[in-house]
Amino acid sequence: VCYPQLRMSRSFALLAVLVASLPLRALGADTCPDGWFCDQTPQPAPPPEAMPAEPEPFDEPPPPNVRVDRPEDDEWEQQPEQRTARRRPHAVQMHREWGFNLHLNQALIGHDSRFPNNSGMGGFGLALRYRFVPHFALESSLEWAWGRDYQGFSRDETAVLVNGLVFFNPKDVVQVYAFGGLGVGTADVNRASSGIGAGYMYPGGKQRYWYLGVQAGLGVDVRVNRRVALTADLLGILRGRVDDNANFSPEFVDPNTHRVTNTSGAGLFRLGATFYW
């Protein structure tokens, strides 16, 4: 009698389990209860245009006062001689400069055989040079010389020379130059005796002569470094007396021909050093 009722109870229980499982399947993986092993629903991949773009690299300038190391920096620091060669392709880097020169003088003069004393004069001088472009410069010098002149008389001379200089190779260590200009000078001459010759009066004792002349020559400037140079030059001088007594008492008289002149010439060799700044 109880079998039909048992069969109905089992059918009812199976139906109840099926009905209860329907809401769980509808919930999906996002509402999976704790303690359950539910399949995760795969998410579709976004389209390519929807994906965020990666930022493009860009060069940002370095902040100020920050050194940017380069591969050649180490080589540049390790080879200072190459750095000097790159910055200064020539031995001497020329620019506008001033120069102060100190030198010794040796006069090149002849000797009058009629006078017993041998001739010879020497001294020293100083000069101020302004080199405004590599090839050209202006120089003013003050010269002193003393000794015995062509006639054997004791003589002390002072001269001021103004020259223009032309440098032929201003970028080399050894620089050759030519120069020329005007000069004015004075001489104190101690004549041994007075006399009359060729119709002219020759007073004895100490006499003062004034000269105006021109000079020209060649020189060499050897740069020891940027600030110091060794100098040597040879110049020829041609001058004439311009004082008031020149016409009444000429300086030179030829006793044979009785010709007179106030014009004289000489050479001057100068050796010294120039300090530039």
Q: Express each pLDDT in 239-262 by its tens digit.
A: 999 998 888 888 887 777 778 889
Q: What single-letter DSSP state applies at residue 15?
A: H
Give me 43's structure tokens.
């998410």
% residues pLDDT > 90 (the chain): 46
Pairing of strands 120-133, 136-148: antiparallel
C-alpha span between 166 and 49 (Å, rounded) = 77
pLDDT at 68: 54
Dihedral, 247, 207, 212, 108 alpha carbons, nearest 10? 120
- CA dist 16 to 12, 31, 33, Å? 6, 21, 20
Give me 66's structure tokens.
């920050």
Asked if residue 144 lies in contact with residue 124, where contact means CB atoms within 8 angstroms, the answer is yes
- CA dist 45 to 41, 48, 49, 54, 137, Å? 13, 9, 11, 18, 85
| pLDDT range class, residue 8, cuts 50, 70, 90 | low
Higher pLDDT, 259 or 200: 259
CA-angle at 202, arms to 198 and 203, nearest 5°? 165
Q: Is 100 helix (H, G, I), strand (E, B) or coil?
A: strand
pLDDT at 112: 74
| pLDDT range class, residue 18, cuts 50, 70, 90 | low
pLDDT at 36: 43
Burial class (CB in 10 A: 0-12, 13-18, 19+), 121: buried
Burial class (CB in 10 A: 0-12, 13-18, 19+), 131: buried
Q: Is 244 helix (H, G, I), strand (E, B) or coil?
A: coil
- Among 267, 235, 240, smallest CA distance to 251 is for 240
Give me 199's structure tokens.
């119709």
Q: What single-letter DSSP state applies at residue 216?
A: E
C-alpha span between 215 and 226 (Å, rounded) = 29
Query: CB-based contacts of 130: which residues, under 8 Å, 6+ apart?
Result: 98, 99, 137, 138, 139
Q: Structure pTM?
A: 0.63
What is the per-residue pLDDT across 201-250, written as a single tens digit (0 to 9) for each?
A: 566 678 899 999 999 999 999 999 999 999 999 999 999 999 988 888 88
Burial class (CB in 10 A: 0-12, 13-18, 19+), 163: buried
What is the per-residue pLDDT across 94-142, written as a single tens digit (0 to 9) for each?
A: 578 999 999 999 999 987 776 666 789 999 999 999 999 999 999 999 9
Q: Is 71 helix (H, G, I), strand (E, B) or coil?
A: helix
Asked if residue 230 lies in contact with residue 195, where contact means CB atoms within 8 angstroms, the answer is no
